[in-house]
Amino acid sequence: MPPRIDAESRRVSLDPRDPAFYGDPYAAYREISATTPTFFWEEYGFWCFCRHADVSTLLRDRRLGRQILHVASRESLGWPAPKEHLEPFEAIERYSLLELEPPEHTRLRGLVGGAFVSRQVERLAPRIEALVNALVDGFEAAGKAELISAFATPIPVAAIAELIGAPIEMAPRLLDWSHRMVAMYQFGVTREVEDSAASAAKEFGDSLRELISRRRRDPADDLISRLIEAETEGGRLTESELVSTLVLLLNAGHEATVHAIGNGLKALLEAKDARPVASPDEAMVEELLRFDSPLHLFTRYALQDVEVCGVPLRKGERIGLLLGAANRDPRVFPEPDRLDPRRLRNPHLAFGAGIHFCVGAPLARLEMGIAFDVLLRRLPKIRLTETPRYRDSFHFHGLETLRAAW
């Protein structure tokens, strides 16, 4: 179903679970952006913004926050009491970097940020390259593979586990916990999803506490040990903050990157059908991130009564920022629906902007560059064998399967 747009009231009805929409959200964005780039999305119940200029400004606007409970109580916002069965999940979220605002955010980001700067992350390149080559060794002789499960999924979890210092044997459990927890960010969460996320959060937290106590006794050259040092040195980090931070890094560190690799490969292979594609350089990685970003919607709360981009908001009201739409805004990206690695300017918002700008961007870029380069170099005849289908998940815009042969 195409979106139902009432241009006068700027209300739009669009089911995020409609396969036609999540299969190609750009068609709907084009239609909406042409008439109502700022609109009230009825199904979500909040105002959304599509223009690049607006999304970029609002991501940086300090009158908005990812969190509201640091400046208002649940009662004053008219929110119901927290759900008891979600307590283990909330306990992790409570201290997650992504859910905090200054000053807590500044302190925590300062503690983890250093581990993710390009200089540190580059050290992982040989390990990532070896892993990617080993994956190709595993399926090369078969002449075909389903690349989401055999290629895109194992790379980011191994890279982030290595950087943090979580044993690689934990990878299958990390994937399972993470899938169950991020399901909470989808549209239309059911009680079953909530129970599953709560038990995943509990198992994940318990397992990390065990790992932390092992590292306390026997420190290693990894992020967990460095954060434990910060915890003990003058109590700059509590154990709950430490656990939340590790969960966030492990979850954020792989979910989006799996889909960035999958969507990027799809775009590269579709372009390859039309003309030869050289080994992807840095500009191509940026263009792939713009062209088919894995994360499309982030929200912010108004921290005070405020007017943003012509929309009056009450304190506590939520808005939606459509990164996927902003990255196809023709005012900023000429011919936005064309994959063009030679764009002169590519200020895409796939990693966000402002204080919550993705801490893992250098790592994600490194993984994508190595994954595309090794795969296309080793399998020069690779081609798609079926039209890839997207998953029923609008926020985490990624593929169900990506089948290819060579």
Q: How far apart are CA 198 and CA 258, in angstroms?
A: 23
Binding to ligand HEM by residue 253, rule CB under 6 A? Answer: yes
| Dist CA 331 CA 336 (whole Å) | 9
- Window of 126-134, 166-174, 183-191, 347-355 that interacts with ligand HEM by CB under 6 A: 347-355
* Using rule CB under 6 A, residue 260 touches ligand HEM: yes
What distance in Å separates the CA atoms of residue 336 and residue 288, rounded to the nearest whole number?
A: 12
Q: Which of these segments, 26-34, 169-177, 216-224, 351-359, binds ligand HEM (CB under 6 A)?
A: 351-359
Inter-residue long-range contacts of 275-283, CB under 8 Å, 24+ positions, other chains counted: 277/376, 279/372, 279/373, 279/376, 279/377, 280/341, 280/369, 280/372, 280/373, 280/376, 281/341, 282/365, 282/369, 283/341, 283/342, 283/343, 283/346
Helix axes 361-378 and 154-164, enclosed angle (nearest 10): 140
66 binds ligand HEM (CB under 6 A): yes
SS3 category, 302: strand
Does the footprint of ligand HEM cover residue 28 (CB under 6 A)?
no
Nearest distance, CB of residue 109 and ligand HEM, angstroms: 5
Site size toward ligand HEM (CB under 6 A) is 26
Among 198, 227, 364, 366, binds ligand HEM (CB under 6 A): 364
Smallest gap, in angstroms, from Cβ of residue 361 to ligand HEM? 7
Pairing of strands 64-65, 144-146: unpaired
Q: Could you say which of 155, 171, 182, 248 contacts ligand HEM (CB under 6 A)? A: 248
- Which tokens sit at 312? 């009056």
For residues 93-112, which are near ligand HEM according to CB under 6 A? 97-98, 109
Q: HSE on the CB side for 173, CA within 13 Å?
A: 16
Contacts (CB under 6 A) with ligand HEM, residues 210-239: none
Among 350, 366, 376, 402, binds ligand HEM (CB under 6 A): 350
The one-letter amino acid at 8: E
Smallest gap from Cβ 156 to ligand HEM, in A, equals 6
CA-CA distance, 96 to 298, in Å (whole number)?
Answer: 16
Q: Does 65 bind ligand HEM (CB under 6 A)?
A: no
The residue with its CB nearest to ligand HEM is: 360
- Chain residues binding ligand HEM by CB under 6 A are 59, 66, 97-98, 109, 116, 160, 248-249, 252-253, 256-257, 260, 294-295, 298, 350-352, 356, 358-360, 363-364
